[in-house]
Amino acid sequence: MKETPNKPHWQLDIVSDLVIDSKWAEGLEGLGGFSHIIVLFWFDRVTEKDVPLKVHPMHKEDLPVTGLFATRTPNRPNRIGLTVVKLLRREGSVLKVTGLDALEGTPVLDIKPYLRSGELVPDATEPAWAQETQRESAKSSAILQEIYRRLLRTYGPQHWWPADEPFEVMIGAILTQSTAWSNVEKAISNLKKADAMSPPALRQLSLKELAALLRPSGYYTVKARKLKALVDWLEYHNDDLSRLSAEDTDRLRQERLGVYGVGDETADSILLYAIGKPVFVIDAYTRRMIDRVGPYLLPSSSRAESRKTRDKPYADYQGFFVQNLQPDVAVFNEYHALLVRHGKQTCSKVPLCPGCCLLDICKHGMASMGENRQS
């Protein structure tokens, strides 16, 4: 597959090429009469692993534990993917389609025509939880798409992450903990001036020398230790950052979380912005926005009003995004950057609700406007 969409599949204007081996081209004849086709593909970049045979559908603990094959969980014992796409036209052995949700270069296993009478079973039934989750998922997905569109329209592309190369992204993700980005920039500038912006160069510095360079970023002794732990981890991977992108995301995440000074947010920032993995980064701005727009969006286990934002599980916020958006590095990159901009500029500690682009879909904003009218 070529020209994988860098937007989610709901933006159906993205055209992808299904490049079929020319020896099968004759078998494509007649396909042009169909508006949609079913594509079976192979998730060649997913590592095979043991998976539990029973799961909570959609990772929602309030839904009954169900057999793996009675759910659509992507965590399966095989790597076969299936999707229905719109067929625009056939150009020889290349099929131009829209709505494809696979990464560039993903191998195609098979193609079948989508038959209206064959695929639609009028009297099909399904358990109540499946109907409910589809309704909830469609609603959550629509809200997330709408928020993304509005933020992008309001603030424009944010061009994240501000760094020259992936190693600098990793350094920035650690140094930005508990400090403003302007302070991080000064520390990074010190590292560059000292010719220390590479894993081997950082290893050469003593802890004291490194801490002195990091002084503008605050907590410099602790951060020096964290950077030392980072380069130790990279040494384990032969300092080859380009090869990390081929590693299994879950495994990398577990490894990163075992490194001193790397929590969920830092690990996910590194995975997304430095290594190019489709993980959604959750930070304080995102938590605050979700809590204000609609805490009802989160699973019931973390919805309780009495729970403070910082006490709600990171995974619940992240799950809300990843379960309702197509995994797409470019969109996850932009979405997180937009949420940070929105959190700083508009949905700050004291939110500027009048004029906010999310006002009419925000529970907190609408409530505060009502209160203002009454007072």
Q: How far is the CB of 359 from ligand SF4 (least distance, A)?
A: 4
Yes or no: say if 259 and 237 are a contact pair by the CB < 8 Å rule: no
Among 110-118, 130-138, 156-164, 349-357, which window interacts with ligand SF4 (CB under 6 A)? 349-357
3-state secondary structure 290-306: HHHHCHHHCCHHHCCCC
Cα distances from 12 to residues 8, 86, 100, 146, 338, in angstroms, run 8, 9, 9, 15, 22
Residue written as tokens 């603990």? 61
Cα distances from 78 to residues 2, 69, 74, 104, 196, in angstroms, run 23, 11, 10, 20, 44
Does 346 engage in binding with ligand SF4 (CB under 6 A)?
Answer: yes
Residue written as tokens 């990464």? 103
Among 29-37, 76-84, 160-168, 343-351, which window interacts with ligand SF4 (CB under 6 A)? 343-351
Judged by CB under 6 A, which of 90, 228, 336, 364 binds ligand SF4?
364
Judged by CB under 6 A, which of 272, 279, 338, 353 binds ligand SF4?
353
- 294 or 313, CB closer to ligand SF4? 294
Q: How many residues does the chain have?
A: 375
Does 347 engage in binding with ligand SF4 (CB under 6 A)?
Answer: yes
Classify burial at 248, counting beta carbons within 10 Å of its beta carbon; exposed 0-12, middle 13-18, buried 19 or more. Answer: middle
- 5 or 365, CB closer to ligand SF4? 365
Q: Name beta bridge partners: 250.
A: none
Residue nearest to ligand SF4 as judged by C-beta position: 365
Q: Name beta bridge partners: 81.
A: 41
Pattern 116-155, ligand SF4, x by CB under 6 A: ----------------------------------------
For 347, phi then psi, to 5°, come to -90, 55
- 41 or 148, CB closer to ligand SF4? 148
Q: How far is the CB of 325 from ligand SF4 (least distance, A)?
A: 18
CA dihedral in degrees (82, 86, 89, 90; nearest 10)?
A: 10
Q: How far is the CB of 51 from ligand SF4 (least distance, A)?
A: 37
Judged by CB under 6 A, which of 44, 352, 367, 372 binds ligand SF4?
352
- 107 or 370, CB closer to ligand SF4? 370
Yes or no: say if 80 and 109 are a contact pair by the CB < 8 Å rule: yes
What angle (nearest 5°) sits at the alpha carbon of residue 207, between those of residues 203 and 212?
A: 110
- 329 or 339, CB closer to ligand SF4? 339
Does 293 engage in binding with ligand SF4 (CB under 6 A)?
Answer: yes
Pattern 245-284, ligand SF4, x by CB under 6 A: ----------------------------------------
Q: Which of 311, 293, 292 is nearest to 301 (CA)?
A: 311
For 271, other C-beta atoms within 10 Å of its C-beta total 24
- 229 or 357, CB closer to ligand SF4? 357
Yes or no: say if 104 and 1 are a contact pair by the CB < 8 Å rule: yes
Does 289 engage in binding with ligand SF4 (CB under 6 A)?
Answer: yes
Half-sphere exposure of 182 (CA within 13 A, CB side): 0
Q: Cis (ω within 30 of 0) for the bond into 161?
A: yes
Q: How far is the CB of 336 from ligand SF4 (least distance, A)?
A: 16
Does 292 engage in binding with ligand SF4 (CB under 6 A)?
Answer: yes
- 333 or 346, CB closer to ligand SF4? 346
Point out which residues bind ligand SF4 (CB under 6 A). 289, 292-293, 346-347, 351-353, 356, 358-359, 362, 364-365
